[in-house]
A = this chain, B = another copy of it.
Amino acid sequence: MHLRHLPAALAIAISLLSLPVAADTAKSTPTAKELIAKSKADEWRTPDPANLLYMQLPQGRVVIELAPDFTPLHAQNIRTLVREHYFDGLAIIRVQDNFVTQWGDPNDDDSGDKSKLKPLGSAKAKLPPEYTRAIDAKLPWTALPDGDVYAPQVGFSEGFPTARDPASGREWLTHCYGMVGVARDIAPDSGNGNSLYAVIGQAPRGLDRNLAIAGRVIEGMQYLSGLTRGTGALGFYTQAAQRTPIVSVRLAADVPAAERENIQVLRTDSPTFAAIIDAKRNRRDAFYTVPAGKIDLCSIDIPSRTLDAKH
């Protein structure tokens, strides 16, 4: 029995898989690697360093792209928090299986000592919700025609998965794997970005339109998802030693250019991205004999690449 490595995700990772080549190669769906190899330079975008967060954990670096065209006030407040080093020395305080990894001030939960809360500095304590935005014909939008259980329309905009409701004229970022949301208390304006969560399981789309989404993890997701789950209520850690410390969070724009990562993200309005989606939707090769024919919005990975690792 040879390599029992399957199944393989049709993500970038599959680019590393060398399947035995069947005689009918011509009929096989191209792999993401093959499609990416043929992509053009202008199909890739370099995220604005003013929108990139480097969150340094002991295990490695998590890179988050903010989404200021969807949540501008949150992006600005998070930049303020980051520039004043608010997150440095804080921690990952909660990992709830099949749901979210959350980070922020360990004293900011029920059992925390409120007198020890880290001050927010110049950042605002409350922000308007920014859960949705008005659909604007001038904004980029690439529809995914496969349908969706939760929303009338889904697709991609500016590199993020989104949903639209033409009836209400609203559009919103969706809680797919790796999306970064803004934790809050009961009041809709009580979120400010000082406590964030990343989706680490099946997309909790029921959160859509109920919470602000600040952005998406574009690199290092494995450092947030591969953590020991918390055993307290809602996955909170019950002992300080269980928390993963946050070494620092920096805005890429504030890091010397030579120390930045040269990350590129495949444009979600590019022909290659469309081809990758179609290949995954209709996957057929020596291994996969029954193509799904459809694909769910949150099952689509958005490829990224680091051209020149600096760390």
Contacts of A210 in B (CB 8 A): 7, 287-290
Please state if B19 and A98 are interface contacts (CB–CB under 8 Å). Answer: no
Contacts of A295 in B (CB 8 A): 149, 206
Which residues of A, 3-22, contact B by the 8 Å Cβ criterion? 3-11, 13-14, 16-17, 19-20, 22
A136 to chain B, nearest CB (A): 21
Q: How many copies does the complex hold?
A: 2
A205 to chain B, nearest CB (A): 6
* Chain B residue at minimum C-beta to C-beta distance from A221: B97
**A202-B298, A299-B202 given; A185·B97 CB < 8 A:** no
| Number of A positions contacting B (CB below 8 A) | 90
A139 at the interface (CB under 8 A from B): no
A274 at the interface (CB under 8 A from B): no
CB contact between A203 and one of B11, B202, B294 (< 8 Å): that residue? B202
For A198-230 the 0/1 string (1 means CB < 8 A from B) is 001111111111110000000001100111110
Please state if A183 and B4 are interface contacts (CB–CB under 8 Å). Answer: yes
CB contact between A177 and one of B202, B287, B290, B301 (< 8 Å): that residue? B202
Please state if B9 and A98 are interface contacts (CB–CB under 8 Å). Answer: yes
Contacts of A222 in B (CB 8 A): 97, 228-229
A1 at the interface (CB under 8 A from B): yes
**A98-B225, A206-B288 given; A16·B233 CB < 8 A:** yes
A24 at the interface (CB under 8 A from B): no
Give the most central of A3, A5, A94: most B CB within 10 Å. A5
Interface of A is mostly: loop
Which residues of A, 153-199, contact B by the 8 Å Cβ criterion? 176-178, 181, 183-186, 188, 190, 195, 197
* Chain B residue at minimum C-beta to C-beta distance from A299: B202
Please state if B7 and A299 are interface contacts (CB–CB under 8 Å). Answer: no
Contacts of A16 in B (CB 8 A): 233-234
A301 to chain B, nearest CB (A): 8
A235 at the interface (CB under 8 A from B): yes
* Chain B residue at minimum C-beta to C-beta distance from A290: B209
CB contact between A286 and one of B10, B147, B186 (< 8 Å): that residue? B186
A34 at the interface (CB under 8 A from B): no
Contacts of A233 in B (CB 8 A): 5, 13, 16-17
Please state if A19 and B299 are interface contacts (CB–CB under 8 Å). Answer: no
Contacts of A299 in B (CB 8 A): 202-206
* Chain B residue at minimum C-beta to C-beta distance from A207: B7
A253 at the interface (CB under 8 A from B): no
**A149-B146, A226-B226 given; A4·B185 CB < 8 A:** yes
* Chain B residue at minimum C-beta to C-beta distance from A280: B206
Contacts of A2 in B (CB 8 A): 110, 114, 185
Complex Cα gap A188–B233 (Å): 43
A234 to chain B, nearest CB (A): 5
8 A-B pairs closest in CB distance: A16-B233, A222-B229, A9-B99, A209-B290, A206-B292, A97-B222, A149-B296, A3-B110
